[in-house]
Amino acid sequence: MSEQARARAVEPPFLIVNPKAYLGSADTLKLATLTDELAADFNVDVIFTAQHVDLRMVNRHTTNLTITAQHMDPIVKGRGMGHILPDSLVEAGAKAVVLNHAEHQLSLATLDATMQRAREVGLATIVCADTDTQCRAIATMNPDMMICEPTAMIGTGKMDAGDYISRTTTIVKNINPDILVIQAAGVTNGADISRVLNQGADGSGGTSGIVSNPDWRGVLTDMFTAIANHKQKA
Amino acid sequence: MSEQARARAVEPPFLIVNPKAYLGSADTLKLATLTDELAADFNVDVIFTAQHVDLRMVNRHTTNLTITAQHMDPIVKGRGMGHILPDSLVEAGAKAVVLNHAEHQLSLATLDATMQRAREVGLATIVCADTDTQCRAIATMNPDMMICEPTAMIGTGKMDAGDYISRTTTIVKNINPDILVIQAAGVTNGADISRVLNQGADGSGGTSGIVSNPDWRGVLTDMFTAIANHKQKA
Amino acid sequence: MSEQARARAVEPPFLIVNPKAYLGSADTLKLATLTDELAADFNVDVIFTAQHVDLRMVNRHTTNLTITAQHMDPIVKGRGMGHILPDSLVEAGAKAVVLNHAEHQLSLATLDATMQRAREVGLATIVCADTDTQCRAIATMNPDMMICEPTAMIGTGKMDAGDYISRTTTIVKNINPDILVIQAAGVTNGADISRVLNQGADGSGGTSGIVSNPDWRGVLTDMFTAIANHKQKA
Amino acid sequence: MSEQARARAVEPPFLIVNPKAYLGSADTLKLATLTDELAADFNVDVIFTAQHVDLRMVNRHTTNLTITAQHMDPIVKGRGMGHILPDSLVEAGAKAVVLNHAEHQLSLATLDATMQRAREVGLATIVCADTDTQCRAIATMNPDMMICEPTAMIGTGKMDAGDYISRTTTIVKNINPDILVIQAAGVTNGADISRVLNQGADGSGGTSGIVSNPDWRGVLTDMFTAIANHKQKA
């Protein structure tokens, strides 16, 4: 078992719940405690992201979630007014950080430095990529996880009609099979999740497919069920 | 009394304690509770900034500080992965936000939009400016407060040797006397604070002048004393 | 007559032809020589912008245009790989530079430094602004000219239905009447130009309203006629 | 022979003369014509970069240089005020473009899109990388050439004391042996160039090592001699 595998923040198949900036603090806490309850019921690991200001609160009120920051900066203690200090995320209970999301893109040098900082403070890295070319380049950087998603699909509620999921998952796994691959673009229910897991992904879930659904418990239960079923089969 | 004056987040003369990214969460809390205690003792208002991840914690453990974010983005609930949602800052207890710091500069259009969002969610704005030209331009945008500081002086522990403080304070006040002006570049003790208050500033304090001092209680007591004395004289 | 007025790059009322990135080099030259011919015929000053790579070529083949760069960086000779050196723009024949366009926004500090560099090398500054607040702030920085345009209208072929033109022109002129104000958002013909000149603007013209018109000579003649007629009336 | 090899903008070993923003137009032309003369004398290929505004001029006055832009944007004809249109670079005579320089870093998605645009318009890509990790990631993107340089060494006149050159060259070649590797950080004379070519690099040269040398003809002759000698040996 490799170092990386042992240090895994989550075990596949897992769920990602990524409310981005869709929810205020109270709603984030509501979604987090609900997800936490279901995570225990279904015995499924969960990446749960939140606004930086809410990370400590979510951590205090849950026990089964891998608390994840939505971004951080490659700074050390010192200057950096208005930037996100990695060390404080750890103190707040974060175990992972998403980097290079399509809505917050980083230069390659900054991404490199930020991944280095993540390793120094002990945060798992979840790095986003869009095209095959980007997936390949990022995979060589050995993040713990990757979110492969066609930028054009984000927030549409529609999944890629072609072979994006299996193709990009294979690209990543061929470079480093230890990288956990998340495919979540356009995913809105359990059937979608079953599909991407069957196509090789290690994790799935989403943002608008969950938070925009009026029945959070319903959609999450459907998603957890799909993952638990997939786990059983394995 | 104008709307703006009534809504003031702080009453001058006041202290600003801005640890930027110098401190982890535990040290931030230590500095915050100490500042809170002295704020009560001296009956002086305080702008206290913190990393986003620490804002709620600082708010929970203090009662006399104006909790202030070090940056936010001009987003509304929805997309914005990795960006700072203003609404959540308010839910966490923030009352003000610093914008356009030299270490996190904004385009004019983004600054304009972010100040608009601050007004919508009820956060006081503290906008940074460097040169006379920038001080003048920002003052026309009617922030609640401004930090005027020569970028080249930041973190040096040395104050501007010329008339920067009185000159830029006058520029701002001539445009809008309701804007509270903070002058803090190079300030390291109570004597420095007395000086800038005498030159017309409404508030002072700093970052490295405080956090890099091995005796936080000593330096803060010295600074609070200077402000309280200035208040008495007024 | 102020220094600024004497150094004016153009005399109002004037035309701005701003092909942005719509045209390759050959088409840019074609548009430039046509505009140059009409500028002489109508005796009307023209701001003509071009891709940096085409500035020298346009300058060599025309005599009546104020050659204008679409952006530059606040650098001096030295490092700055991939950035635009102001000194070289001057050597290529540029007389003015557009800054802070909605498609290339600058931080306030960068805009300030770049305007300073423009003054040092002798380029007139044409600074873009969107909202009333931005127009006011930019006007205090004393650019030679301003392009006031509601960002949402750019490229739509539709003009602001309200009082944007007269309102923002007044805001600028009240701060500094020497600033020449360009209003061009949504302008597509001579009638539009007459309208904005009558509402107080000093110059007008545009991008898509010209380059997307299949009859360049026709639309430019119409626009020049409007300006010449306005000039006559004055 | 692969497509890529056939389309090579230069044949190794070659020189790169990259004046960045160190020179105005007249000096750039002087350096270009001198380099052009020596390139013919020594029969050595040369990558010659220039400010965008000077590219067409340099192309008109030289015959042996691979004219190279210092940056471009991933735009197509249309909007993009102040950005560099790839198509116009080609019309001006450019054959290659440098991307992602330490002084003008790009997000991975932007780099990917810009490399795609380069292929569409027929420009060779020269992509910069710093650390081993960045070299590896960029190499998977199949640029025509790479500049591997430790950012901390740029402009110092000192070369990396360790095995950076051979190590990063090997990293790149192991991924794609068709990528031509440029190693030029801290290179100031012919002996430096011989050294890096012997360590596996395909090209070398530099910026400050050339332009800051008071004797351009002397330093260039020394560098060309080193390359020609290396060529002979091969």
- For B51, the closest chain A residue by CA position comes to A84
Angle at C31 between CA C28 and CA C33, to 5 degrees: 105
What's the rounded Cα separation, in Å, for the pair C183 and D18? 40
- C and D make contact (3+ CB pairs below 8 Å): yes
| Confidence band, pLDDT 50/70/90 cuts, at residue B3 | very low
| Phi, psi of B10, deg, nearest 5 | -145, 160
What's the rounded Cα separation, in Å, for the pair A101 and D108? 11
Which one-letter DSSP state was computed for residue C152?
G
Which one-letter DSSP state was computed for residue B112?
H
Cis peptide before A13 (omega within 30 of 0): yes
Residues for chain D: how many in total? 234
* Interface confidence: ipTM more than 0.90: yes
Beta strands in D70-222 (DSSP E): 96-99, 124-129, 145-148, 180-182, 203-206
CB-based contact A108 D112, cutoff 8 Å: no
CB contacts of B80 in chain A (<8 Å) are: 20-21, 103
- Token pair recorded at residue D110: 């932007």
| DSSP-derived 3-state class of residue B118 | helix
- Please tell me the predicted confidence (pLDDT) of residue C7: 57
Kindly report, residue by residue over D174-199, the tens digit of the pLDDT. Answer: 999 999 999 999 999 999 999 999 99
Kindly report, residue by residue over A33-58, the tens digit of the pLDDT. Answer: 999 999 999 999 999 999 999 999 99
At a CB cut-off of 8 Å and minimum separation 6, what does B28 contact? Answer: A88, B19, B50, B51, B54, B57, B58
| Three-state secondary structure readout of D210-226 | HHCCCCHHHHHHHHHHH
What part of A 71-90 touches D (C-beta under 8 Å)? none
Q: Does A200 touch chain B (CB under 8 A)?
A: no
Kindly report, residue by residue over C216-233, the tens digit of the pLDDT. Answer: 999 999 999 999 999 998
- B and D make contact (3+ CB pairs below 8 Å): no
- For D129, the closest chain A residue by CA position comes to A109
User: In the predicted model, is pLDDT for residue C2 greater than 60?
Assistant: no
What's the rounded Cα separation, in Å, for the pair A155 and A135? 20
- Comparing CA positions, the residue from B176, B173, B195 lying closest to residue B184 is B195
**Beta strand pairing status for A145-148 and A180-182?**
parallel
User: Which amino acid appears at position A81 of this protein?
Assistant: M
Q: Does C174 touch chain B (CB under 8 A)?
A: no
pTM above 0.90, yes or no: yes
| Confidence band, pLDDT 50/70/90 cuts, at residue B77 | very high
On average, the pLDDT of chain C sits at 94
Which one-letter DSSP state was computed for residue C151?
G
- Token pair recorded at residue C122: 């002798």
Kindly report, residue by residue over C96-116, the tens digit of the pLDDT. Answer: 999 999 999 999 999 999 999
What's the rounded Cα separation, in Å, for the pair D128 and D151? 10
Distance from CA of D1 to the nearest CA of C (A): 33
Q: Does B26 touch chain A (CB under 8 A)?
A: yes
- Please tell me the predicted confidence (pLDDT) of residue A5: 42
| Confidence band, pLDDT 50/70/90 cuts, at residue D7 | low
User: In the predicted model, is pLDDT for residue A4 greater than 70?
Assistant: no
User: In the predicted model, is pLDDT for residue D234 greater than 90?
Assistant: no
User: In the predicted model, is pLDDT for residue D88 greater than 50?
Assistant: yes
pLDDT, average across residues B26-35: 98
Q: Does B128 touch chain C (CB under 8 A)?
A: no
Alpha carbon distances (Å) from C42 to C9, C67, C222, D13 = 18, 18, 11, 57
User: In the predicted model, is pLDDT for residue A221 greater than 50?
Assistant: yes
Q: What percent of chain A has pLDDT over 90?
A: 90
CB contacts of C111 in chain B (<8 Å) are: 108
At a CB cut-off of 8 Å and minimum separation 6, what does C54 contact? Answer: C25, C28, C29, D56, D88, D92
Kindly report, residue by residue over C121-156, the tens digit of the pLDDT. Answer: 999 999 999 999 999 999 999 999 999 999 887 777
What's the rounded Cα separation, in Å, for the pair B131 and C115? 13
pLDDT, average across residues D206-225: 96
Distance from CA of D108 to the nearest CA of A (A): 6
Which residue carries 């044409």 as its tokens?
A: C126
Q: Does B102 touch chain C (CB under 8 A)?
A: yes
- Please tell me the predicted confidence (pLDDT) of residue C233: 87
| Three-state secondary structure readout of chain A | CCHHHHCCCCCCCEEEECCCECCCHHHHHHHHHHHHHHHHHHCCCEEEEECHHHHHHHHHCCCCEEEEECCCCCCCCECCCCCCCHHHHHHCCCCEEEECCCCCCCEHHHHHHHHHHHHHHCCEEEEEECCHHHHHHHHCCCCCEEEECCHHHCCCCCCCCCCHHHHHHHHHHHHCCCCEEECCCCCCCHHHHHHHHHCCCCEEEECHHHHCCCCHHHHHHHHHHHHHHHHHHC
Angle at C142 between CA C141 and CA C143, to 5 degrees: 105
- Chains in contact with D, where contact requires at least 3 CB pairs less than 8 Å apart: A, C
Kindly report, residue by residue over C17-43, the tens digit of the pLDDT. Answer: 999 999 999 999 999 999 999 999 999
- Mutation target among A55, A75, A85 for the B interface, most CBs of B within 10 A: A85
Kindly report, residue by residue over C140-198, the tens digit of the pLDDT. Answer: 999 999 999 998 877 777 888 789 999 999 999 999 999 999 999 999 999 999 999 99
- Please tell me the predicted confidence (pLDDT) of residue D152: 80
Q: Does A100 touch chain D (CB under 8 A)?
A: yes
- Please tell me the predicted confidence (pLDDT) of residue B7: 57
- Please tell me the predicted confidence (pLDDT) of residue B155: 75
Rounded to the nearest angstrom, the gap between the alpha carbon of residue D59 and the centroid of all alpha carbons in its chain is 16
User: In the predicted model, is pLDDT for residue D112 greater than 70?
Assistant: yes
| Confidence band, pLDDT 50/70/90 cuts, at residue B233 | confident
- D and A make contact (3+ CB pairs below 8 Å): yes
Q: How many CA atoms lie within 13 A of B90 on its CB side?
A: 14
CB contacts of D51 in chain C (<8 Å) are: 52, 84-85, 88
| Confidence band, pLDDT 50/70/90 cuts, at residue A162 | confident
CB-based contact B52 A53, cutoff 8 Å: yes
Least confident interval from B158-167, C180-189, D8-17: B158-167
pLDDT, average across residues A104-117: 97
| Confidence band, pLDDT 50/70/90 cuts, at residue B159 | confident
Sequence-distant contacts of A43-46: CB under 8 A, at least 24 apart: A43/A228, A44/A13, A44/A14, A44/A15, A44/A224, A44/A227, A44/A228, A44/A231, A45/A10, A45/A11, A45/A12, A45/A14, A45/A15, A46/A10, A46/A14, A46/A15, A46/A16, A46/A17, A46/A205
| CB nearest B136 (choices: C100, C105, C140) | C140
